[in-house]
Structure 1
Amino acid sequence: MFGKVEHELEMHAPASEVWDLYGGLQLGKVVVAELPQMFEKVDLIQGDGGPGTVLKLTFAPGVLVPESTSNKEKFTKVDNKKRIKETEVIEGGYLDLGFTLFRVRFEVTEKGEESSILKSTIEYEVKEENTSNASLVSVQPLVVLAEFGKTYLNKNKAAKETN
């Protein structure tokens, strides 16, 4: 069984700034301090933020799925020109529940000089015998990450303007 959930949010920041946050390792560096209700730790296992980078995400209790507190994800696509990043869970998390694919994609589209759209997508595939677990997939963590990014970028913009 294949499924997909998406979320879009207009960001009041240039696409280049949104991409700087979501396109590499920056997001992982700031979410632990800024979103402790979601993330306990984000560890860089290998890589520099490009394709092949592997992160271990340790989630706050109840964020991921009841049976799991962490997973490893691999950056499978980082397209700086099109501003698309894809990551796939390669260990733990949803894979422990019969999913054969759990992919997260961030895509940043320029809307105007000071505005852009962040589109967040989860694509998943789950084994037939585990299709009931598809109900565990939620766009809500992506909504939280998008809203966080919007607030974070606006706060940084305001700080720059007052200096």
Structure 2
Amino acid sequence: MFGEVEHELELHVPASEAWDLFGALRIGKLVEEEMPEMFQKVEITEGDGGVGTVLKLTFAPGIPGPSSYKEKFTKIDNEKRIKETEIVEGGYLDFGFTLFRVRFEVVEKGEDSSIIKSTIEYEVKEEEAANASLVSIQPLVKIVQVAKSYLQRNKAAKEAN
């Protein structure tokens, strides 16, 4: 069984600024610092931020779903501003999923505006199809909202100087 969920949010910053955050390791550091209620730890276990980098995400106690998992950067396209990660150990794979991919795409909307499109693609074994209900776009929505606030604070600080 294959599924997909998406979310879009407008960011009032240029696409290049949004991509500087989402296309690199900075987004992992940001969520660890600004979302302790969701993430206990985000650590690099392999790589330098490019394709092949592996992160271990450990969630805060009490968060529904897996307590941790490892994800690998499988695609980083700086031209199209697309970054994809796939779970490679633990997490949803322990619930019968054979694929759990997260994609962030930064779309230029105007000179000072962009859209962040977040997508989860998943595939789950037929006998575990009921576990598809575990998939939620809400954690990505929260991450994007935190990123939007961060980007707007930085923009306001630059304009004040």
Instruction: Tell whether 2:134 aligns with 1:136.
Output: yes
Q: Which residue of structure 2 lines up, in the alignment, with residue 24 of structure 1?
A: 24
- How many Å separate the matches in 1 of 2:19 and 2:58? 23
**Gapped runs of 5+ residues in structure 1?**
none
What is the 5 A alignment of 1:12-91?
A: 12-63=12-63, 65=65, 68-91=66-89
Question: C-alpha offsets along residues 52-108 of structure 1, whole Å, 9 cap, x if unaligned?
Answer: 00000011124350xx31000000000001000000000011000000000000000
Please state if 1:148 is matched with 2:140. no
Structure 1 runs of 4+ with >2 Å offset: 61-64
* Counterpart contact for 1:45–1:56, Cα < 8 Å: yes
> Cα RMSD (Å) of the superposition?
0.9
- Structure 2-normalised TM-score? 0.97
Maintained 8 Å contact 1:64/1:93: no
Question: Partner residue of 2:121?
Answer: 123
Structure 2 gaps, min length 5: none
Distance in 1 (CA, whole Å) between partners of 2:6 and 2:50 is 23
- 1:109 aligns with 107
Q: Greater shift after overlay, 54-63 or 126-135?
A: 54-63
CA distance in 2, matches of 1:35, 1:95: 24
Equivalent residue, structure 2, for 1:162: 160
Residues paired across the two proteins, number: 161
User: How far off its partner does 1:32 sit?
Assistant: 1.1
Assess, with a 3 A threshold, how the Cα gap between structure 1 residues 2 and 62 changes in structure 2: closer, same or farther.
farther
TM-score (norm 1): 0.96
